[in-house]
Structure 1
Amino acid sequence: MLITLVIGLCALAFAQDKVTIVHWQHHYPAREAVVKQLITEFEQLHPNVTIDFQSIPYGEYFQKIGPSLEAGTGPDVFQLPGPQVYEFYARDQLTPVPDDVYTAAEIEADFVPWTVELLKQDGGYVGLPTDVQLFLLFYNDALFEAAGLDPTKDFASLDELEAAARQLTVKTGGRLSQAGISLTYSPYQWYWNYLTTLHDAGSVDEATLEVTYDDAAGIDFWRWFTGLITNDGVDDPEFLTGQDKFAVGLAAMDLHEFTYAGNLAQLNPDMTYSVHLPPPAPGRPEGTAGTHWAYVVSSQSDKATAAWEWVKFLTSEEAQRQWVADGGELPSRVALYDDAELRSDPNAAVALDAMSTAVPYDAIGWDDVYGIQQGIWENIVLRGDTVESAVAAGAAAEEALYQEKQR
């Protein structure tokens, strides 16, 4: 069914002439399908507009987008991780949303604050959010019940979670046969979440470009987190190496983005699981971190108004219903948070409730920062470095990266 929006009913000025909007984003099958459906609807509403869409493999995406913008051959509309928006804006590669398309006041009224926080630069917005995710704790309910634990209960502290993880860990013949928590398959969700929520300033002080996780609280987190493997043995790098242990039913817990629910529906449709807010770090309030990408418009585009109208359409309330249903993301629009249809799934309701207190993962980068922080984890867990030395080296590398980006 066509999206019936005011934008689609108005005779927009840009639609009077033939317009082609070039749109790039990294490839993800479900999201590609949603974009193609929205293109069909938008082009039917605006017959003079053509969307030239390219879904580019993730491994090639950033290698293509940067050089193309530098060469002046880039797209009109493209997708960036929220934490990278500042970098592209600082290089004068993004154009703000014009007021005649969407005012700053309207954006702030329509979207959940944390989903647009990283998109505001110099008082204006240079992107609109998409692919919104939260880090949430997944329980395998059957494994909880088998261990005598209540799968409806949230953990109040990291200590409670650790104790349960030990109870949920099973060894057979002295070897791990069930992980209490899936950690080695994808550990980044843990350090992205807790390094962001550990301090009010997030993981990096924007004023000084210094990371915040190399203080006593940060060291304590890294020691606790890596100790789940090195001390407690709730997972093991040699147990089902490279396999998603939670999805195959051999791990009792996993911290993951909410979109993981869609993966589970495909990989293990018979699993009964529940979604929970992860416990706070000591002395910190309840809440979780989230990530999102953003649709942005190139400063080189000669059809910026038309491009922004397309982005506004992509992130509209009705479009977000499609993103939620078919793209595996959470809505960023305030109007959808009390939606009865979305809340009919108890796990989705947990995620929607968590949106109000979430904060954005705020590192100034994406894959480059991931590589440094993943290196901290690997140096401790796989190479046996001390927590202090690994964190100090990682913090220094991350701060050097930020200084280089400022040049």
Structure 2
Amino acid sequence: MGKRSARLCAALLGVVLAASGCSSGSGSGGADDNGKAELSYAVWDINQKKVLEELGREFTRTHPKVTVHVQLTPWPDYWNKLKTAVTGGSAPDVFWMNGPQFQLYASNGVIRPLGEEFTEDGIDLAAYPKPLMDLYTYEGKLYGLPKDMDTVGVWYNKALFDAKGVEHPADDWTWSDFNSAAARLTDPEKGVYGTAAALTSFQEYQYNTIAQAGGYVVSPDGGKSGYDDQRTVEGLTFWTDLIERKHSPDLRTMTDTSPIQLFEAGKIAMYWGGSWNAGEFSANEYTKDKVDAAPLPRGERRASVIHGVANVVSAGTAHPREATEFVEFLGSEKAALALGRSGPLPARDGTQDAWVKAHPQFRLTTFLDAVDYAVPFPVSKNTAAWNQAELTYLTQAWAGEQTVGEASAALAAAMNDLLAEE
């Protein structure tokens, strides 16, 4: 999408959301004559549908007049369907929200601020990681409760390490240690690379090294790009240097075959990935007994991007109290334990043991320890517009057509224009 088109789409979306934010419509209709209410709950992960339906029935047992209907829309269609529902005044009562989309919905009045009700109801907000709570706070108001979370680490191939006589990553390893290991693990004759310097998921790669170098992506007030900061450039150069040294596949190779596919084929020794990879690597025949997790290496500082899905309430719901109580229930210890047994890493403190025990062959405490040095996923009101710009400009550096400094400066200028329009 071109810059002008991205701006136009963002502007139109903002108008649509603003126009619908005050709508009194709801995806479930009003309560009937007996005071009964039906809540619609929109989600995108089929793997969690069963446990969420069970939690809906559990909520009904303590709230007999409320019935919950889980509405599944797979990820590729989720946001388009949600925007259509919001436009038509039929938004679901409760739905999943992520960080990149949050400020757009909050700033246009599409979702309800819930912080005051949480406080009145005695919800322990300290039970959730502060960076996640900050992620779902807009202009001082909290809009949702995190249901799960994810941090980033290095998944590494123990078999490849052992074959080359390379020590497994230490908890306190550094960028220098990582680069040294990548060099020793690269084996051109076997088509094996030490790592993969991908440009497809900034959450797993660039955002982490930018923070580790002391740089930033967007200022806390959402008004300025950090891509022209020298420390940010250093965080990006970490990756392009790996490509230049041939310790990572080049951009074309990683476009043809994704890094995770290369890792699962034994062609990548160290893969920067998230806590969410545990389920897939447990099921994969190659990785299930050959890989393990280590913390991200340290740059100037330790850092791992934290993100997580939050449950939010539509501003147009016909039953705001019931919807809020359902969100509170989904954030409870009981619900978090149920979620942890089914797959995702729960956000609520003290409920992650079931998730860790589900994959005992991996050192999953790595991802829990990362919460202590986690940094929030960078967002603004229209994150999607500059996410596209990141790919457009940095691709030239990853392909070797520009220096990182040149590409990053051009990105900063374009991103500042987009932020100004917000």
Shorter-chain TM-score: what band?
A: 0.7 to 0.9
Please say if residues 182 and 251 of structure 1, whose CA atoms lie closer than 8 Å, have aligned partners that are also in contact: yes
Please say if residues 379 and 385 of structure 1, whose CA atoms lie closer than 8 Å, have aligned partners that are also in contact: yes
Residue 291 of structure 2: aligned partner = 273
Give the length in aligned residue pairs: 384
Residue 182 of structure 1: aligned partner = 196
Identical amino acids, percent of aligned pairs: 24
C-alpha RMSD of matched pairs (Å): 2.8
Separation of aligned partners in 2, 1:397 and 1:122? 25
Instruction: Select the residue among 306, 318, 332 that pairs with 1:316.
Output: 332
Asked if 1:153 corresponds to 2:167, the answer is no
**Structure 1 position 232, deviation (Å):** 3.4
Residue 5 of structure 1: aligned partner = none
Question: What pairs up with 1:237-316 in 2 under 5 angstroms?
Answer: 237-239=251-253, 241-243=256-258, 244-268=261-285, 270-281=288-299, 283-284=300-301, 286-316=302-332
Where 2:191 maps in the other structure, the secondary structure is strand
Going from structure 1 to structure 2, the CA distance change for 1:252 and 1:104 (only over 3 Å counts) comes to: farther
Going from structure 1 to structure 2, the CA distance change for 1:233 and 1:340 (only over 3 Å counts) comes to: closer
Separation of aligned partners in 2, 1:129 and 1:100? 16
Structure 2 counterpart of 1:246, one-letter code: F
**Structure 1 position 186, deviation (Å):** 4.5
Instruction: Select the residue among 220, 228, 235 that pairs with 2:234.
Output: 220
Where 1:92 maps in the other structure, the secondary structure is coil
Residue 22 of structure 1: aligned partner = 40
Residue 221 of structure 2: aligned partner = 207
**Structure 1 position 292, deviation (Å):** 1.3
Separation of aligned partners in 1, 2:369 and 2:217? 23
Structure 2 counterpart of 1:352, one-letter code: L
Please say if residues 149 and 347 of structure 2, whose CA atoms lie closer than 8 Å, have aligned partners that are also in contact: yes
Please say if residues 115 and 143 of structure 2, whose CA atoms lie closer than 8 Å, have aligned partners that are also in contact: no
**Structure 1 position 208, deviation (Å):** 5.9
Please say if residues 214 and 232 of structure 2, whose CA atoms lie closer than 8 Å, have aligned partners that are also in contact: no
Separation of aligned partners in 1, 2:84 and 2:130? 32
**Structure 1 position 280, deviation (Å):** 2.3
Residue 97 of structure 2: aligned partner = 80
Structure 1 counterpart of 2:330, one-letter code: L
Separation of aligned partners in 2, 1:135 and 1:126? 25
**Structure 1 position 98, deviation (Å):** 6.0
Going from structure 1 to structure 2, the CA distance change for 1:98 and 1:144 (only over 3 Å counts) comes to: closer
**Structure 1 position 14, deviation (Å):** 12
Going from structure 1 to structure 2, the CA distance change for 1:237 and 1:163 (only over 3 Å counts) comes to: same
Question: What pairs up with 1:25-64 in 2 under 5 angstroms?
Answer: 25-26=43-44, 28-64=45-81
Instruction: Select the residue among 69, 93, 96 that pairs with 2:86.
Output: 69
Separation of aligned partners in 1, 2:264 and 2:205? 18
**Structure 1 position 77, deviation (Å):** 1.0
Going from structure 1 to structure 2, the CA distance change for 1:178 and 1:93 (only over 3 Å counts) comes to: same
Separation of aligned partners in 2, 1:398 and 1:96? 28
Separation of aligned partners in 1, 2:225 and 2:147? 26
Please say if residues 197 and 239 of structure 2, whose CA atoms lie closer than 8 Å, have aligned partners that are also in contact: no
Structure 1 residue runs of 5 or longer lacking an equivalent are: 1-12
Separation of aligned partners in 2, 1:58 and 1:340? 26
Separation of aligned partners in 2, 1:14 and 1:209? 47
Where 2:43 maps in the other structure, the secondary structure is strand
Structure 2 residue runs of 5 or longer lacking an equivalent are: 1-30
Residue 6 of structure 1: aligned partner = none
Residue 371 of structure 1: aligned partner = 388
Structure 1 counterpart of 2:48, one-letter code: R
Separation of aligned partners in 2, 1:234 and 1:161? 12
Going from structure 1 to structure 2, the CA distance change for 1:97 and 1:56 (only over 3 Å counts) comes to: same
Once the two structures are superposed, residues 169-224 of structure 1 have per-residue CA deviations (whole angstroms, 9 ceiling, x without a partner) of 1112xxx6112113348453111222345447x42113361122321111122222
- TM-score by structure 2 length? 0.82
Instruction: Select the residue among 387, 399, 402 that pairs with 1:385.
Output: 402
Separation of aligned partners in 2, 1:196 and 1:16? 54
Separation of aligned partners in 2, 1:113 and 1:103? 20
Asked if 1:231 corresponds to 2:245, the answer is yes
Going from structure 1 to structure 2, the CA distance change for 1:380 and 1:96 (only over 3 Å counts) comes to: same
**Structure 1 position 252, deviation (Å):** 0.5
More displaced, 389-398 or 246-255? 389-398
**Structure 1 position 161, deviation (Å):** 0.8
Separation of aligned partners in 1, 2:34 and 2:386? 44
**Structure 1 position 349, deviation (Å):** 1.6
Residue 193 of structure 1: aligned partner = 208
Structure 1 counterpart of 2:296, one-letter code: P
Separation of aligned partners in 2, 1:183 and 1:29? 30
**Structure 1 position 102, deviation (Å):** 4.5
Structure 1 counterpart of 2:38, one-letter code: T
**Structure 1 position 155, deviation (Å):** 5.8
Once the two structures are superposed, residues 316-375 of structure 1 have per-residue CA deviations (whole angstroms, 9 ceiling, x without a partner) of 112112222213x322222336x5984794622222222122121122255444322233
Separation of aligned partners in 1, 2:368 and 2:251? 33
Please say if residues 213 and 234 of structure 2, whose CA atoms lie closer than 8 Å, have aligned partners that are also in contact: no
Please say if residues 22 and 52 of structure 1, whose CA atoms lie closer than 8 Å, have aligned partners that are also in contact: yes
Separation of aligned partners in 1, 2:172 and 2:194? 14
